[in-house]
Amino acid sequence: MTTSPDLLSHEFLLPTPAGRIYVKRWEHSGQASNQAPVILMHDSLGSVELWRDLPDRLARGTGRAVVAYDRLGFGRSDPHAGQLPVDFIAQEAHTTFAHVIAALQIDRFVLFGHSVGGGMSGVMGPACAARCEALITESAQAFVEERTLAGIRAAQGAFAEPGQVERLGRYHGDKAAWVLSAWIDRWLDPAFQTWSLDSALPQVTAPNLVLHGRGDEYGSVHHPERIAALSYGPSSLVIGDWGHVPHREDAEHIVQRAAQWLADLASTQ
């Protein structure tokens, strides 16, 4: 694993037709790397800031640049003009994500998606097949499961308690109520109940590392098992004793696992 202490980061607001997108990149000072950067895709309530020290750890562990961005309506990006469309997971590859990789002139990349960001990665893999070297999904949903809906309903009750939406506002500002509604309303919407990755996964040709916790309150192990079984590319399935956020619960292990997997892939290419 790379242990260079010389990491630089820079951030900017990227203009897009829908609004400005907050983007941050971590890279090694004085070390030009020909390795594809890792692009992080955040979860339903997530943001660049909520990745905490994972980007730094991944950059040091893999020797690669790491890029993260706030989807429109989240974090430091501009507000979203309306509701999330039913096909928002599939749309991401062709909207904000496309603007980010174009602005940073990224030709090839590795995707690392958490929760719904993992679902987005499962769609982006085939949508960008010629450019996606590998993808890592963490706690990704592959279909709408009652366990997922039960977890969302429980969270809905918890966020109804005084001060909880304000806590979310630390990361999303005055967009916090929209972020919460976008998650709860879309996933509980009857029109969303037939969503799945079943049609996308057989088109995933890139190698994929599938990480999931047995204690994930938003999805059973049927999700990673389906991702690994349906993906056309070679899959490495890892089920651990984690909840929904393994990179926060067991950061060192997750980074080491991802770094070693990417190094093994690179050695075979």
Question: pLDDT-based confidence at 268, cuts 50/70/90?
Answer: confident
CA distance linking residue 31 with residue 64, whole number of Å = 10
Confidence bin at 6 (pLDDT 50/70/90): confident
Under 8 Å between Cβ of 64 and 134: no
Quote the pTM value: 0.96
- Look at the chain and count its residues: 269
Contact indicator for 26, 66 with CB cutoff of 8 Å: yes
> And the tokens for 188?
């509980």
Q: How confident is the model at residue 136 (pLDDT cuts 50, 70, 90)?
A: very high
Residue ranges and CATH numbers for the domains of the chain are 7-268 (3.40.50.1820)
What average pLDDT score do residues 57-81 get?
97
Q: pLDDT tens digits for 160-207?
A: 999 999 999 999 999 999 999 999 999 999 999 999 999 999 999 999
pLDDT of the residue at 3: 38
Block residue for tokens 């630089």: 8
**Amino acid 98: pLDDT:** 96
Can you give the pLDDT at residue 214?
A: 98
| Average pLDDT score over the chain | 95
CA distance 258 to 269: 17
Q: Residue 122 carries which side chain, given as an amino acid letter?
A: G
Tens-place pLDDT, residues 114-131: 999 999 999 999 999 999
Report DSSP state, residue 74: S
Question: How would residue 1 be classed by pLDDT, with cut points 50, 70 and 90?
Answer: very low
Give per-residue pLDDT as tens, 7-64: 999 999 999 999 999 999 999 886 556 899 999 999 999 999 999 999 999 999 999 9
Phi-psi region of 52 (alpha: psi -120 to 50; beta: other; left: phi over 0): left
Q: How confident is the model at residue 140 (pLDDT cuts 50, 70, 90)?
A: very high
* Higher-confidence position of 3 and 247: 247
Please enumerate in sequence order all residues whose Cβ is within 8 A of that of 236, keeping only pairs 6 or more positions apart, or say none. Answer: 207, 208, 209, 210, 228, 261
